Amino acid sequence: MLFGKKKQVPVHDRKDGTPVIRCSICTGEQVAGFLRDDTGTFEEIMLIRSESDLQSFRERYGITGEIKKIY
């Protein structure tokens, strides 16, 4: 097989964490994910390059309202 199978998108249980956007101060890169409440670790879900990426993240995980940014 020349090209591998398409990777499965991980299903996240929103009860485990809070949706956040981690921003880099130096490069401005933004990554959407979930901050686990029990351990305080950040689980990366997707890179945010445009407003449409952020919108698809919101739709995929049913997020409404403001998403907190962490640096």
Angle at alpha carbon of residue 52, lines to 51 and 55, rounded to 5°: 90
Cα distance between residue 32 and residue 19, in whole Å: 7
pLDDT of 11 higher than 80: no
* pLDDT for the residue numbered 37: 87
Give residue 22's pLDDT.
96
pTM, rounded to two decimals: 0.74
Q: Residue 8 has what pLDDT?
A: 52
Over residues 42-57, the pLDDT tens digits come to 999 999 999 999 999 9
**What count of Cα atoms within 13 Å lies in the side-chain half-sphere of residue 6?**
2
* 3-state helix/strand/coil string of 7-56: CCCCCCCHHHEEEEEEECCCCCCEEEEEEECCCCCEEEEEEECCHHHHHH
- What is the tens place of the pLDDT at every residue in 13-40? 556 789 999 999 999 999 999 999 889 9
